[in-house]
Amino acid sequence: MRVLGIDPGSGILGWGVVEGDTSSYSLVDYGIIKSNRREKFSKRLLKIFDEVADLIWKFNPEVLSVEECFYATNVQVALKLGQVRGVVMIAAEKAGLEIAEYQPRFIKQTIVGYGNAEKHQVQEMVRILLGLNEKPQPYDAADALALAICYFHDARIHSIRPKS
C-alpha cells in the first residue's frame, strides 16, 4: 500500500510518500510545495490543488493521510489552513483515495510516544523509523512523512482489534 502524507500549509505544504504494510514500510519520496505569499490566496489554492493532483498522479497512492485542523489563536490562519485542507481533500476524493485524518497530538504520540513532542523530535523519529541517514528537511516534509507513517501504525492497531 502506498500512502501520501500531507502537512497542510498555505505558505509551505509538506508531502511525503511511504509504502508498505502494517508490519513494514519504506520511504518513496518527499518534498514541499511552496506558494508565493504575494499572489492572491485563490491562486495559491489552485497551485496547491494542481500540485497535489500531480503528486497523486505521479506516485499513485491508495491513501491520503492529512492533519486535522487544530485550534489556532489567529482565526485567519485557521481559516486559511482549513481551505488548504479542503483543496487537498478534493484532489484526493477526485482521485478516489481513502482519506485518513489525524490530530497533531495523536501523530506525535504515535511517532514519538509523547503528544507534546517538538518538531525536531518528530523529525528524528521519522529518520529512525524510515532508516534514513539524515533527518528529512524541512520540518514540513518530515511532518508529512510522520502522517504517512501514522497511517500504517493506526492500521496495525485497528487490524488486530477484535471485531465487535
Predicted model pTM: 0.92
Q: State the pLDDT confidence band at 70, using cuts at 50, 70 and 90.
A: low
161 pLDDT higher than 50: no
What domains does the chain contain, in order, with CATH numbers?
Answer: 2-160 (3.30.420.10)
Residue 115: predicted pLDDT: 87
Alpha carbon distance 129, 90 (integer Å) = 30
User: Among 90-94, 104-108, 152-156, where is mean pLDDT lowest?
Assistant: 152-156
Spatial contact of 5 and 28, defined as CB atoms under 8 Å apart:
no
Q: Give the model's pLDDT for residue 162.
A: 40
Catalytic sites, residue numbers = 7, 67, 140
Is 160's pLDDT higher than 90?
A: no
Pairing of strands 98-102, 63-67: parallel
Contacts 24+ apart (CB under 8 A), 126-135: 130/18, 130/25, 130/26, 130/27, 131/26, 132/27
